[in-house]
Chain A
Amino acid sequence: MNEKKMRKSRMQTVVFLLIIIIVTYLSAAITEFNFLDGLATIPKALGWMAGNLLITAETLERLPAIMEKLLETIFMSIAATTIAAILSIFLGLMGSKTTKVNNIFSIFARLIASISRNIPVVAWSLILLISFGQNSVTGFLALFVGTLGFLTRAFIESIDEASQDAVEALQATGATYFQIVNKAVIPQSLPQMLSWILFMIETNIRSATLVGILTGTGIGYTFDLYYKSLNYNAVALVTITIVIAVLIIDSISNRIRRVIL
């Protein structure tokens, strides 16, 4: 790297930082966010949390009801992820460069993935709530649609990454399309796909809380009820059960990932 190049890259860094500072300043202006107020809030909020988010013996009596809702939420996210994964494998095979049947299907698969991924899960849950009503199926479908888009994109990438050699070798033996997919593509990309599925289950448990608040299902609804009735001890209990559930699922999937990848 000579001196001129170094000076140029330093200039680029300065310009880049300036742009970021300007964008941040504009964002603060439009949202009326005050940095000093924000800073002052943090100790206040932490102090409030330490003082009010305590679990008392009285709230522990609510634990069975909370656990039931938590279980419903966990099941909801697992079911939404698995079923979306099954559909995503087909969309992924259609969308990938190596295994696409023809360009029309490939574009179709990518379009479905892009639309369902980029419309936020909030919009899906509000749309579905109107006609499906306040029950688990609404939450399940909202999670399902978002997961479908994300997993299809991830699966297309994992299928594209799988080595071409095995596919080529099978093509040379005269294997049919399904034989190639079955014996070369799927076995190679399955561990990677499974890793994405596990990641999505973790993400969905967190999103399920949000979807629950909006659609009135699962643990999110329980949280919302306690939150609105100002029962902060129960709010703390709900939050802690969610944290423990997420940490347990996180550690299980990390262990599986360590073996398969």
Chain B
Amino acid sequence: MEAGRTNDLPYIKRTKDGRINIKSGNKIDLVVKWTLIILSILTVMAFFFFNYIGLQWDRAIPETAHNLRVMFLEPALNHFSWGEAFYQVGITVGLGVLATVIGAVIALFLALMAAENLSRPWISKSIRAVVAVIRAVPTVLWVLIFAIAAGLGSEAAVLGMLFHSTAYLVKAFSEAFEEVDAGILEALRATGANWWHVVTHGVLPSTFTYILSWVFLRFEINFGVAVAMGAAAGAGGIGFELFMASGFYFDLREVGFITYAILIIAVVLEIISTQLKNRYFPASTNN
């Protein structure tokens, strides 16, 4: 192998007999290829595992097409008024805001303890492990479990959503904190700054825009989650109305109206979040 290497360029990979290896990045290609193959096999297998009880394709597809047409072309309100609709949307947005804001505040402190460059290894490792487990439980299960203890209502919904939001933001924040230039922290420590000074003058100013962006992204997610909690866990708001309209009244026009209302809010949130990203991320690289 050594004999074949004539001009000693270490970055040229050679095979055993000295020829230049023209297949680059073997391991990466291999992993990508096998992941794709395994996913395809699992996908094909999946269709044998499904239960098809009560499914009639020939009836279901035209019916869905018809339902979608009624929903999107003839939206109307039958069971509640416009004012009521605004109020319900407000409740859903409110649940999202509460879960996001409280979650962000708690996550900020936990993330400071979870970031490896600001904390002791054992504290950071244990917080990360707890956060990973909390994140693995679907939000709806948290809300339902809290609903038993706290009773149905906004407290159970907000607390249940809070768990997942906090866990998500701790991960995002602590990763942002770890990317803070070690030189800044060292310079501050050299002046005799204590842990709190390092955080308020070094870490927070340089990561503030990232934090803001993550919080808003989470708010976007939490709006969707709040709709879901209304429908699946009876947390109220527009999601609950959606569940009632489709599951109890079978009123497709109303389902259409509610879907439009959710769609409009979601699109507005997405536009704001894109604007924030465009406005703050180029700026954060400059200073």
A residues lining the B interface (CB < 8 Å): 20, 23-24, 26-28, 30-34, 37-38, 41-42, 44-45, 48-49, 52-53, 71-72, 75-76, 78-79, 82-83, 114-115, 118-123, 126-137, 140, 190-191, 194, 197-198, 206-207, 209-210, 213-214, 217, 220, 223, 227, 232, 235, 239, 242-243, 246-247, 250, 256, 259-260
A72 touches B262 (CB 8 A): no
CB neighbours (8 Å) of A119 from chain B are: 259, 262-263, 266
A42/B98 contact (C-beta < 8 A), A71-B49, A137-B50 known: no
Q: Are A242 and B55 in contact (CB under 8 A)?
A: no
Contact A243 B136 (CB under 8 A): yes
What 0/1 readout, one digit per residue, does chain B (97-119) give for beta carbons within 8 Å of chain A? 11001100000000000000000
Given contact pairs A27-B98, A126-B243, A135-B54, A49 touches B49 in the complex (Cβ within 8 A):
no
Contacts of A127 in B (CB 8 A): 64, 67-68, 71, 246, 255, 259
Query: Is B93 an interface residue when CB atoms closer than 8 A count as contact?
Result: yes
Contact for B91 among A30, A53, A197, A250, CB less than 8 A = A30
Instruction: For B202, list chain A residues within 8 Å (CB).
Output: none
Nearest Cβ in chain B — how far from A211, in angstroms? 9
Q: Mark B140-158, 1 if CB is under 8 A from A, else 0.
A: 1100111011100111101
What residues of B have a CB within 8 angstroms of the CB of A82 in the complex? 39-40, 42-43
Query: Which stretch, B7-15, B29-37, B77-85, B181-189, touches the partner chain A?
Result: B29-37
- Knowing A140-B50, A214-B232 touch, does A242 contact B141 (C-beta < 8 A)? yes
A213 to B247 CA separation, bound complex (whole angstroms): 13
Query: Which residues of B (176-200) have their CB < 8 Å from a CB of A?
Result: none
CB distance from B220 to the nearest CB of A (A): 10
Question: Once the chains bind, are B154 and A33 in contact (CB under 8 Å)?
Answer: yes
A194, B250: Cα distance in complex, Å: 40
Closest B residue by C-beta to A246: B136
Report whether A32 and B154 are in contact in the complex, using a CB–CB cutoff of 8 Å. Answer: yes
Q: Which residues of A contact B255 (CB under 8 A)?
A: 123, 126-127
B-side interface size class: 35 or more
User: Do residues A194 and B35 form an inter-chain contact, with CB atoms below 8 A?
Assistant: yes
Q: Does B227 contact A (CB under 8 A)?
A: yes
In the complex the two chains form, is A121's CB within 8 Å of B228's CB?
yes
| Distance between A134 CB and nearest chain B CB, rounded to angstroms | 6
Give the chain A neighbours of B141 by CB distance below 8 A. 209, 223, 239, 242
**List of A residues within 8 angstroms of B133 by Cβ:** 243, 247
Give Cα distance in the complex from A34 to B63, angstroms.
45
Query: Could you jot down 14 A-B contacts, CB within 8 Å?
Result: A30-B90, A31-B94, A45-B149, A48-B148, A79-B47, A118-B262, A120-B239, A122-B232, A123-B258, A131-B63, A136-B50, A223-B141, A239-B137, A246-B136
Report the Cα distance A115→B31, complex, angstroms: 33
A112 smallest CB distance to B (angstroms): 13
Distance to closest chain B CB from A105 (angstroms): 21
**A79-B42, A120-B228, A242-B141 known; A191+B154 contact, CB < 8 A:** no
Residue B267 at the chain A interface, CB threshold 8 Å: yes
Q: Is the CB of B98 within 8 A of A41?
A: no
Bound complex: CA A190 to CA B64 (Å): 34
Cα distance A53–B142 when bound, in Å? 12
Asked if B95 is at the interface of the complex by the 8 Å CB criterion, the answer is yes
Contacts of B36 in A (CB 8 A): 194
A31 to B238, CA, bound (A): 12
